[in-house]
């Protein structure tokens, strides 16, 4: 008997993913408070492959909030806050089965510790989610996607403060209750393992306000995982129809050589990338994490109550996939780092292009967790050229996505339970890592530049018709 699947499941969820802070704009409207993304700055004096969010101190926060001559593109995004109905129609035109976006925490609780939620923010997302459903798409909603209220970083210490556990749990309970019956699929925290380059963006810990930044990061993410587990418990008890997921920034790191030292370093590196999903899907702290903390003089307070909370595990696993890297003994000893793989091509931003790595990772995660898997981000940032007739021939994007979807199909035939694929940034938006518009991912072009100049007009790229064909054929036609 042939037990090998022949392609994508009939109920496979095809769609795309965005984040509120990268496209909504309207950063100071309808009661929204300051959020971390509002101080993500675009700078044109940094090398293209060095553009990413770095550590932030309290001086930077204060100056960014007061600045009048600096560029913060996430404050205006692509004005999705006002154009979402038209934009969702364009996305539905590709045949999307699902659409992933996030709730900007500071629209619901402007300061994070507010006694009551902001009704205008709650109503906006209710209207948005209803519009997603109206257009035939299943919403998948991220609760925290780099949109922490900035007041939680200035009045507290972001996720390092245990008070934030209660603030976030209250926020989760508020949105679960408000959108029950409207949203089934939830991701509580986007790419929870990103505590390096996205440290402040993710955890809200100003580097000058703690004595030991590395310990503070791991304490902060521990607190965040406890909050996730508490929120998961609440959803399971009050809204059992909801499916609660956790998400990693995926990308296996390979050993740079066959040397046992490099192999062991790679094992240790990957363990600490999977640490977060091991906790949130298995419900307990792994021994290797305690060993890592001991070896690196990292101090994390883990209470018996926390360990009890963490037994409330997620229902599905999700991850983003953009690139892979390699590990040497030396890179591991230099802050558990991985380095660029010199044997495969890369994008202009230095992100390696490795479709086979996606199949490897899908198999690894399925073997490790035996939980349904959703690929909740995948795509390539590239410069697009608008021709004189308005056309945009993005064959490079089609080639990239085709190669990766071929490997997803192979993984499904390997027996991996992959249930959905979300192309990242199906409509052009502001880059997360570099805060620029010129790094484009979309099937839909938005006429805005890095400084917010342009008409905002939406145009369809060649990849739009290609992805529409892929969805219509349920992945059978990738040509």
Domain residue spans in the chain? 13-472
Question: Per residue in 326-347, pLDDT tens?
Answer: 999 999 999 889 999 999 999 9
Q: Can you tell me the distance from the alpha carbon of 6 to that of 4, in angstroms, rounded to the nearest whole number?
A: 6
Per-residue pLDDT at 53 exceeds 60: yes
Is the pLDDT score of 252 beyond 80? Answer: no
Of 86, 75, 185, nearest in space to 131 by CA:
86
Is the pLDDT at 49 greater than 80? The verdict is: no
Asked if the model's pLDDT at residue 51 lies above 60, the reply is: no
Looking at every residue in the chain, the average pLDDT score rounds to 96
Alpha-carbon gap, residue 294 to 291, rounded angstroms: 5
Looking at residue 52, its pLDDT comes to 62
Give how far the C-alpha of residue 71 lies from the chain's centroid of Cα atoms, to the nearest Å. 23
Q: What is the pLDDT of residues 411-455, one digit of tens each?
A: 999 999 999 999 999 999 999 989 999 999 999 999 999 999 999
Q: What percent of the chain has pLDDT over 70?
A: 99
For residue 302, what are the CA distances in angstroms to 11, 153, 250, 291?
41, 22, 26, 14
Is the pLDDT reported for residue 358 higher than 80? yes
3-class secondary-structure state, position 307: helix
What number is the average pLDDT over the span 343-363? 95
pLDDT tens digits, one per residue of 181-221: 999 999 999 999 999 877 899 999 999 999 999 999 999 99
State yes or no: is 377 an active-site residue: yes
Asked whether the beta carbons of 80 and 87 are under 8 A apart, the reply is yes
The C-alpha atoms of residue 46 and residue 286 are separated, in whole angstroms, by 39
**Distance of alpha carbon 60 from the chain centroid:** 24
Report whether 440 contacts 350 (CB < 8 A): no
Question: Residue 44: its pLDDT value, please?
Answer: 87
Please give the Cα distance from 187 to 449 (Å, whole number).
Answer: 30
pLDDT at 165 over 80: yes
- The answer to whether the beta carbons of residues 103 and 172 sit under 8 Å apart is no
Residue 385 has pLDDT above 60, yes or no: yes
Q: How many Å apart are CA 416 and CA 431, to the nearest integer?
A: 31
Q: At what angle do helices 287-295 and 260-282 cross, to 10 degrees?
A: 120
Asked whether residue 352 carries a pLDDT value surpassing 80, the answer given is: yes
Could you tell me where the DSSP H helices lie in 137-182? 151-154, 163-179
Q: What separation in angstroms does the CA of 300 have from each of 156, 157, 212, 289, 292?
A: 18, 15, 11, 11, 11
By mean pLDDT, which of 40-54, 206-220, 378-392, 393-407 is the weakest? 40-54
Q: Within the chain, what is the greatest distance between any pair of CA atoms?
A: 69
Residues pairing with 218 in the sheet? none
Q: In this structure, which topology does domain 13-472 adopt according to CATH?
A: TIM Barrel (3.20.20)
Residue of 24, 224, 377, 436 with catalytic role? 377
Which residues pair with residue 319 across a beta bridge? 248, 375
Mean pLDDT of 103-120: 98
Angle at 451 between CA 447 and CA 455, to 5 degrees: 25
Residue 50 has pLDDT above 70, yes or no: no
Identify the pLDDT of residue 189: 98
Q: What band does 404 get if pLDDT is binned at 50, 70 and 90?
A: very high
| For the chain, counts of helices (H) and of strands (E) | 16, 13
Summarised one tens digit per residue, pLDDT across range 257-304 is 999 999 999 999 999 999 999 999 999 999 999 999 999 999 999 999
| Sign, CA torsion 34/36/42/43 | positive
Calculate mean pLDDT across residues 29-58. 85
Are the C-beta atoms of residues 423 and 467 closer than 8 Å to each other?
yes
**pLDDT computed for residue 291 by the predictor:** 97
Strand 418-424 to 339-340 pairing: unpaired
* pLDDT for residue 187: 98
- Euclidean distance between CA atoms 41 and 55, whole angstroms: 13
Q: Which residues pair with 222 in a beta bridge?
A: none
Q: What is the mean pLDDT of residues 121-126?
A: 98
CA distance 216 to 212: 6
């Amino acid at each position: 008997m042939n037990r090998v699947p022949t392609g994508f499941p009939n109920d496979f969820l095809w769609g795309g993913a965005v984040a509120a802070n990268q496209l909504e704009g309207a950063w100071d409207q309808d009661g929204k408070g300051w959020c971390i993304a509002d101080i993500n700055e675009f700078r044109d004096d940094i090398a293209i492959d060095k553009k990413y969010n770095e550590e932030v101190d309290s001086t930077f926060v204060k100056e960014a909030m007061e600045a009048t001559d600096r560029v913060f593109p996430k404050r205006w995004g692509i004005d999705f806050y006002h154009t979402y109905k038209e934009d969702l129609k364009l996305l539905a035109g590709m045949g999307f089965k699902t659409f992933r976006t996030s709730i900007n925490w500071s629209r619901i609780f402007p300061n994070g510790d507010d006694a009551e939620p902001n009704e205008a923010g709650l109503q906006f997302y209710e209207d948005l989610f209803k519009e997603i459903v109206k257009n035939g798409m299943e919403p998948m909603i991220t609760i925290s996607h780099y949109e922490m209220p900035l007041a939680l970083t200035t009045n507290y210490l972001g996720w390092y403060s245990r008070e934030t556990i209660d603030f976030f749990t209250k926020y989760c309970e508020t949105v679960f209750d408000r959108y029950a019956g409207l949203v089934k699929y939830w991701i509580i925290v986007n790419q929870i393992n990103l505590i390096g380059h996205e440290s402040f963006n993710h955890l809200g810990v100003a580097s000058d306000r703690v004595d030991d930044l590395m310990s503070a990061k791991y304490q902060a993410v521990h607190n965040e995982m406890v909050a996730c587990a508490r929120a998961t418990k609440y959803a399971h008890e009050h809204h059992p129809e909801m499916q609660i997921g956790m998400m990693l920034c995926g990308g296996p790191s390979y050993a740079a050589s066959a040397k046992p030292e490099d192999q062991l370093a790679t094992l240790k590196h990957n363990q600490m990338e999977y640490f977060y999903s091991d906790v949130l899907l298995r419900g307990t702290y792994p021994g290797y994490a305690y060993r890592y903390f001991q070896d690196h003089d990292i101090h994390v307070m883990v209470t018996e109550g926390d360990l009890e909370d963490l037994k409330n595990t997620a229902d599905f696993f999700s991850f983003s996939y953009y690139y892979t890297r390699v590990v040497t003994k030396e890179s591991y000893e230099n802050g558990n780092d991985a380095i660029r793989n010199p044997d495969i091509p890369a994008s202009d931003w230095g992100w390696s292009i490795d479709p086979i790595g996606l199949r490897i990772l899908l198999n690894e995660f399925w073997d490790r967790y035996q939980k349904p898997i959703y690929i909740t981000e995948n795509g390539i940032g590239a410069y697009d050229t608008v021709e004189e007739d308005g056309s945009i021939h993005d064959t490079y994007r089609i080639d990239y996505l085709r190669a990766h979807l071929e490997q997803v199909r192979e993984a499904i035939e390997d027996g991996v339970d992959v249930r959905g694929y979300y192309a990242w940034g199906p409509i052009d938006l502001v880059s997360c890592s570099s805060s620029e518009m010129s790094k484009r991912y979309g099937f839909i072009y938005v006429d805005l530049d890095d400084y917010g100049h342009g008409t905002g007009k939406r145009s369809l790229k060649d990849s739009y018709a290609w992805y529409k064909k892929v969805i219509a054929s349920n992945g059978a036609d990738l040509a």
